[in-house]
Amino acid sequence: MGSASSAIIGLVGGTVFILLGRWIYANPKKVYTSSLYANPDSPFLKFGVRLFATLLIFIGSYAAALWSVALVVHLGTTAVIIALVAALLGGWSLRPQVIALPHVAVGAPAAGTQKHGGFMTRKGRSLTIMALGISTVVFATILALFVSGQGRLMPVVAIVATLISALVVAVVLWFVK
């Protein structure tokens, strides 16, 4: 499959993904910005973040297992199948155990924490609308470049789209009240 140095990079990268996935799985509220959602303790949000964390653990397990098996078994297809099985088992068993704490409501909610009618706050809705608009423009631009045969401009379009997206996210998060 490759040299020993690429195997070490695969093992280290896989381990980093596993550790990152475990941390995200155990701390889902630290991943998303609470000010974007009307109910940041929503089970739906935690489920989505934990699903993403499980995917990271699976990818890390696959990378680490593939390079480990590839060092021992030099058959490409067999190594991939063994690594895939190991990744499925790793994705399930390497998740940290999360103990649910009982939620105790004491008194009236603090000022500004009342539930709103929707899932997202105004800032979250603005960010979502802008993200959908940027995604639509980028998709249309990429499609137009492919149709016109100007595929060589794709890296430039990707860089510009990334910069514009970062700028819009910064504006929405810090300036929209």
* Residue 64 and residue 126 share a domain: no
Whether 111 is covered by a domain: the verdict is no
Q: What is the average pLDDT score of the chain? A: 75
Q: How far apart are the first and last CA of the chain?
A: 53
pLDDT tens for 72-90 read 777 677 777 888 888 888 8
- Are 29 and 47 in contact by the 8 Å Cβ rule? The answer is no
Looking at the fold, whether 12 and 81 belong to one and the same domain comes out as yes
Region of residue 149 (phi > 0: left; psi between -120 and 50: alpha; otherwise: beta): left
59 found inside a domain: yes
| Residue found by looking up tokens 């088992």 in the block | 89
Q: Is the pTM of this model over 0.75?
A: no
Q: What is the pLDDT of residue 71?
A: 73
- Nearest to residue 42, comparing CAs of 94, 116, 93, 128? 116
Q: 31 by DSSP, 3-state: which? A: coil
The structural domain count of the chain equals: 2
At 136-152, the pLDDT tens digits run 877 777 777 777 777 67
User: Does 114 fall in a domain?
Assistant: no
The pLDDT tens digits for 93-134 are 878 877 765 655 544 444 444 454 566 777 777 777 877 777
Both 9 and 89 in one domain: the answer is yes
Looking at the domain assignment, is residue 53 inside a domain? yes
Structural domain that includes position 168:
122-175
